[in-house]
Amino acid sequence: MQITRDRKITETLELVDENGKITDKIVVNISPMSMAQKLSKQRIALIAAQKEVKENPNEDALGKFGVAVVSFIEAVFGTEDTKKIIVFYDNDYIGMIKHIMPFVEMITDKVRKEAQKQRKEILSNYKPIKRR
């Protein structure tokens, strides 16, 4: 019998400055089963913070929204690569959100779809133990 590992899923984000020069490349290793729960938790926090900003757009609500966005981004990239992104955007969080969220959403969709696929595979391979 042979067993094989699943193929690794990766995506690369290139940080390109205003002159078109690639200043850094960030490789995201997508691990669906471990990322799915973390991303779901961060998405819920982000939605709650977004709702709070809409209902009461004060400094406190905006601060919570900013923290939720950075936490969501960190769930995809990890702490070190998130720091690289923040430095790249020179702490321009609005610009960062505008440009980075489409990539984050793409990763989130891939994680969700792959996690669903893996769950189905696990369940289809499971055979209950028959009692004697």
Region 122-127: mean pLDDT is 77
Cα–Cα distance, 30 to 33 (Å, whole number): 9
End-to-end CA distance of the chain: 27
Virtual CA dihedral for 104, 107, 108, 112, nearest 10 degrees? 180
Q: What is the pLDDT, as a whole number, of residue 35?
A: 86
| No. of helices (H) and no. of strands (E), the chain | 4, 2
Using one digit for the tens of pLDDT, what is the confidence trace for 98-108?
Answer: 999 999 999 99
Helical (H) or strand (E) element with 50 = helix 32-55
Q: Read off the DSSP letter of residue 20.
A: S
Asked whether the whole model's pTM tops 0.85, one would answer no
CA distance 116 to 67: 28
Q: In this predicted structure, what is the pLDDT of residue 132?
A: 66
Residue 77 has pLDDT above 90, yes or no: yes
**15 and 26 Cβ atoms separated by less than 8 Å:** yes
Distance CA(77)–CA(33), nearest Å, equals 16
Domains of the chain, by residue range, sit at 34-108
Q: What confidence tens digit (pLDDT) does each residue in 17-65 have?
A: 999 999 999 999 888 878 888 888 999 999 999 999 999 989 999 889 9
* Predicted pLDDT of residue 115: 85
The better pLDDT of the pair 8, 43 is held by: 43
pLDDT (0 to 100) of residue 44? 93
